[in-house]
Amino acid sequence: MPKATLAIASKNYGSWSLRGWLLCKMAGLEFDEVMGSSDDPSTRAELLLLSPSFLVPCLTHDGVKIWDTLAIAEYLSELYPSAGLFPKERGARARCRSISGEMHSGFSHLRSALPMNLKAHYPGFKVWAGAQADVDRIAAIWRECLAESGGPFLFGAKPCVADAMFAPVCTRFATYDVKLDAAGAGYCKTIMALPQMQEWIEAAKTEPEELEELDVEF
């Protein structure tokens, strides 16, 4: 039986839960999922962006609890060094941590204006100026990383921590029909085609509608 559990929120709305889940999958960790109820304060804090500190996803492994996504990434990297969650080269590794940290703490306009909603699709959605600045910054990060690494992932041939951190952004761009340059569009297509992403998306489609606050008609 798995020695680990991962507490997550909704698969349709839970961007941080997706990041933690992807990291566990990338590492090759065997784990059981524990789905939080929408009535649970920690779950609602993540889904409704009501707190700067979320308690989901929360990884429990060998009696250790880790609830910060970047801490989960570091823990799994130490546990499974051969998984290559961080790039081998020192400079690339530092850059990976930098852009992952930027995603972790920034882009608040994007988060509030384009909440994750895998079941929805809004063709021709108008992205307001504040959120567009976040979109432009993310597109620049992707262009620079892909040009440096050669792709198809941000740091080369296989996905790493940075790709897990930006994966929910790819779903947002698809949901809200965000226009991207060729590099960004190609990167989103690569991420969305990952078997792990397809598994998550298929599970999201089967979820009951529980949070009316997040199903806003734009």
Q: What is the pLDDT of residues 58-102, one digit of tens each?
A: 999 999 999 999 999 999 999 999 999 999 999 999 999 999 999
In eight-state DSSP terms, residue 151 is S
pLDDT at 38: 57
Cα dist. 209→8, 39, 204 in Å? 16, 13, 10
Average pLDDT over residues 154-182: 98
Query: What does the block give as tokens for 188?
Result: 């989103």
pTM of the model: 0.90
| Of the candidates 4, 2, 11, 58, the residue with the CA atom closest to the CA atom of residue 198 | 11
Q: Is the pLDDT at 201 greater than 50, yes or no?
A: yes
Q: Is the pLDDT at 52 greater than 50, yes or no?
A: no
List where CATH 1.20.1050.10 sits in the chain.
90-200
> pLDDT tens across 8-29, in order?
988 999 999 999 999 999 999 9
Instruction: Read off the pLDDT band of 44 (50, 70, 90).
Output: low
**Using CA atoms, how far apart are residues 11 and 200, in angstroms rounded to an integer?**
7
Cα dist. 206→200, 201, 203 in Å? 10, 9, 5
Chain-centre distance for alpha carbon 197: 10
What CATH architecture applies to the domain 90-200?
Up-down Bundle (1.20)
Instruction: Read off the pLDDT band of 53 (50, 70, 90).
Output: low
List where CATH 3.40.30.10 sits in the chain.
4-83
Question: CATH assignment of 4-83?
Answer: 3.40.30.10
pLDDT at 208: 80
Backbone angles phi, psi at 35, to 5 degrees: -85, 125
